[in-house]
A and B are shown apart, each in its own frame.
Chain A
Amino acid sequence: MGTRTVAETIREITRAHLENGGMLLGESISAVGWVNNTVPDVKNIVELPMTDVAGAGIAAGAALAGRRPVFVVRFQDFLILNGSPLIFYAAKLKDLHGRSAPVFVRAIAAEGLGPVHSGVLHSLFMHFPGFKVASPMTPREYEEVWRIYMENDDPFICSEHRASYANKDELADETVDGADITIYSISSTRFEAKKALKLLQNEGVRCNLVNIVWLKPFALSSRLIEPLKDSKIGLVVDPGHEIAGASESIAYTLMINTGYPVKALGVEDRTKCLVPPLQNKAPDAFRIYEAAKGLLACTGRVFT
């Protein structure tokens, strides 16, 4: 366990960047809470009016001018509006014109806040060429994503989640010899997957737990592949919608490259309502546990 939270890490990275001539833009970023205490009170912060769409274009323009802007999107659902300048301009610039607009989009996800404030939309940006997409959930992961952003000239979608802001744990992979299943988890489901692991272990299931930070490019490293080769069954868990989402995409990639069955588990294909039990939340520990058990049962391995 480290000494700094993810929120503190973001704040300190941002402070250093802004004091060094960078920019940060967003809507209501210096209001109450300063975006969950992730935004420092320093110079070079630009409060945007409620100009979703134009706001992202202004940020992309600042990137063209070399200011390496951080563009804060307080709820990932708002990326639907702000996506246009990012997708159609910033991300296409290199392939089309050989130039770059390196904007760092802090796309913040949340849970339980209803139909347009609870979405996890990083898979949309995996779909379009030109982005790098990562979902860091630990302080060191965040620092690494930021370092890579500063060393590259691509637009970045940093898929944050409020569930990570208080986290100090580095959430290491957990692997065992002779595992029955490998669970791959993304974003906030990483915290739930750790709990699910315990539930499964209590029933004698030997599990690998592999963390996925980089969604695009998605590199099939031995860290990702070897546990699956051992367990021969995989489960990819993501807090976004399952259909055509990150979980399905990555499950497919793992499956096609190993020949082993890999199931996707994400949010169901229905609207996230505000009130329980219709919130359609991201897979929690119990859903992950059930999905793993079901997958094992399909292959004839029953644990009681």
Chain B
Amino acid sequence: MRSQNFALIENGPAIVGEDAALEIFRRVCRTRFFEEGLVRAVKDGFVTSPVYLSTGQESVAAALSVALPRPIIFAQHRCHGVYLSYGGDPVRLRDELMGLPTGTSGGRAGSNCVQCHDDGVTMHGHHGLIGENVPLAVGYALASGDTTLAIFGDGAAEEDYVLSSLGFAATHRLPVLFVCEDNNLSILTTVETRRSWKVSNVASSFGIGSEDLSDDPWTVYLKARELAKRTPALMNIYTCRANWHVGVGTDGPVEWDRFAEVKAALDGAGLKDKALGIEDAERLSMEKVWEQGQLRRLSGK
């Protein structure tokens, strides 16, 4: 059963090392504080298009991005965390969410369709049809031989074309790491209401190495590095979406607060002061991105 400690590797920060641990934390903070600013911008009316928040799930993309620095990325609709963790410019993402021509897709695509083709990052934009990115990732890996990262949710894992893509990747032994961000929710319908099977078992039956684990970032980092050596492989990562499927509202407390746990783990590893410094720096940096005067000027409101 899903839990915050499922398959947890103890003493994660110590195992991954200080530099990697703190870099993962910096990327977690970037997404968290970017989205805190975004929530305010939505409430203030500066962002009016639908938004799909990564908050609560930030540790997955943060850990993957440190573990696998330069894959070809096919992210899902909930992709702010992937974009930011892999080095996407937060200003361009903000502009995309505001519908500005300086956005990641010229302000045409919005929150669930973020792409990045800058500074060595290749992240192909999603179009909002869940799981559509998985056969695309498989086709890309087939055609290019490049290491490819396909990220999708537990709902997308049920799409027939996702399952057949897993099978195709297994047949051709393609260099794809499949990552299912399993937040247990399709809108608000839980996994156990929808299906009786686990995607990790399906992947295994295809001959794909797979792991179920929680979103403890150190565990994600270590498992991703291990699985990336024997692709195709799949990680089903239990995580918690903090906000609505779409929008900035919430339905009460999350099952577990990974952000708090990450900070506690860094504290336990003797990295409290450095972590606080990173947290403050990222908060300040993202506050500048969402500074009110700037938003008024950009939006004309």
Taking Cβ atoms with an 8 Å cutoff, the residues of A that contact B are: 23, 46, 48-49, 51, 53-67, 69, 84-85, 88-89, 92-93, 95-99
Contacts and interface: CB of A to CB of B under 8 A. Distances in A.
A64 B140 contact: yes
Interface string B133-166: 0111111111110100000000000001110110
Contacts of B137: 61
B263 interface: no
Contacts of B165: 51, 54, 57-58
Contacts of B245: none
Contact of A96 (B125, B143, B160): B125
Nearest to B139: A61
26 contacts: A51-B135, A53-B161, A53-B164, A54-B162, A54-B164, A54-B168, A58-B136, A59-B139, A60-B136, A60-B139, A61-B136, A61-B137, A61-B141, A61-B143, A62-B143, A64-B139, A64-B140, A66-B143, A66-B144, A69-B143, A84-B161, A97-B105, A97-B108, A98-B105, A99-B117, A99-B124
B167 interface: yes
- Among A61, A88, A99, the one with the most B-chain Cβ atoms within 10 Å of its Cβ is A61
A89 B127 contact: yes
Given A54-B164, A98-B105, A65 B135 contact: no
Contacts of B113: 96-97
B109 interface: yes
A187 to B, nearest CB: 29
B299 interface: no
Contacts of A51: 135, 161, 164-165, 167-168
Interface in B166-185: 167-168, 171
Contacts of B115: 97, 99
Given A49-B171, A96-B108, A65 B143 contact: yes
A303 B184 CA distance: 72
Residue of A54, A67, A95, A98 most packed against chain B (CB within 10 A): A54
A55 B132 CA distance: 11
Given A96-B113, A97-B105, A62 B139 contact: yes
A51 B160 CA distance: 9
Contacts of A95: 108
Nearest to B160: A53
A53 to B, nearest CB: 4
A89 B127 CA distance: 7
Given A54-B161, A64-B140, 4 more contacts: A57-B132, A62-B139, A62-B143, A69-B139
Interface residues of B, number: 32
A56 B138 CA distance: 11
Contacts, number: 112
A126 B161 CA distance: 25
A287 B106 CA distance: 51
B132 A65 contact: no
Given A96-B105, A96-B113, A48 B168 contact: yes
A89 B161 contact: no
B284 interface: no
Q: Which 4 A-B pairs have the closest CB atoms?
A: A61-B139, A57-B135, A58-B139, A62-B143
A59 B143 CA distance: 9
A48 B129 CA distance: 22
A57 B135 CA distance: 5
Contact of A57 (B109, B139, B141): B139
A46 B129 contact: no
A64 B137 CA distance: 9
Contacts of A88: 127, 129, 132
A88 B127 CA distance: 7
Task: Tell which of B106, B138, B167 has the most Cβ of chain A within 10 Å.
Answer: B138
Contacts of A96: 105, 108-109, 113, 125, 127
A214 B136 CA distance: 28
A46 B142 CA distance: 9
Contact of A49 (B106, B108, B146, B168): B168
A85 B136 contact: yes
Contact of B143 (A48, A49, A56, A67): A67
A92 B124 CA distance: 13
A51 B163 CA distance: 10
A174 to B, nearest CB: 44
